[in-house]
Amino acid sequence: MKDEETKRPESYNGYEYREISVPEWLSSLCIDSYPCFGWEPDPNRNESKEKSGLTGLQKGHGNMNMTRLYFRRSRNLCNKAELTRLQRNFDSCVSELEALRRSKNSAATIAALVIGILGTAFLAGATFASVADPPVIWLAILLAVPGFLGWILPYFVYRKLVQKKTKEIEPLMEQKYDEIEAVCRKGLDLLH
């Protein structure tokens, strides 16, 4: 019977709870930063992984691996309104970081797809020219060359555009990280 005894708390401390879903690459940043706004990891829940981007900070993100994080903070926290404002600023910065990271791939993907579709159209024209009655071989060859180029080039175009966009975005991402650091420092100052 002694093992089944329940411990009674000496005092009650009310908590508010927060659940967020973030991409895996941002989970460490959130785990490290949320304590600056009075949050602590919820000891009653563990983080979980999911395959949907339809919740949390990244609505409509697609099929990226997401991590669900659980936090709690005391309801008796001083400066709660200001901490909540800073937390919203942090959440906004995290959303902007994710948007910047997505943007480096989006233009490259669109360009590669357009080139691939045009290559497919040229190859379709080459196929129709070769099966026509009578076959027009010179036209089939003329259309096949840009068609095959349209199937080969997208890979190289994609890589080049991603490299170019990464160089443009890295300074912006560093600015966001600096802004996140400043917001977290302000939050920590309010807690102490």
Report the C-alpha gap between 39 and 190 in whole angstroms: 13
Handedness of CA 74, 38, 18, 65 (dihedral sign): negative
The count of residues in the chain is 192
Mean confidence (pLDDT) of the chain:
88
How confident is residue 65, by pLDDT bands cut at 50, 70 and 90? confident
* Structure tokens belonging to residue 19: 């659940």
Measured from the Cβ of residue 189, the count of other Cβ atoms closer than 10 Å reads: 11
Residue 69's closest CA among 34, 102, 117?
Answer: 34
Strand, helix or coil for residue 67? strand
Q: Tell me the mean pLDDT in the region 42-54.
A: 69
- 69-120 pLDDT, tens digit per residue, is 999 998 888 888 999 999 999 999 999 999 999 999 999 999 999 999 999 9
Output the pLDDT for position 13.
80
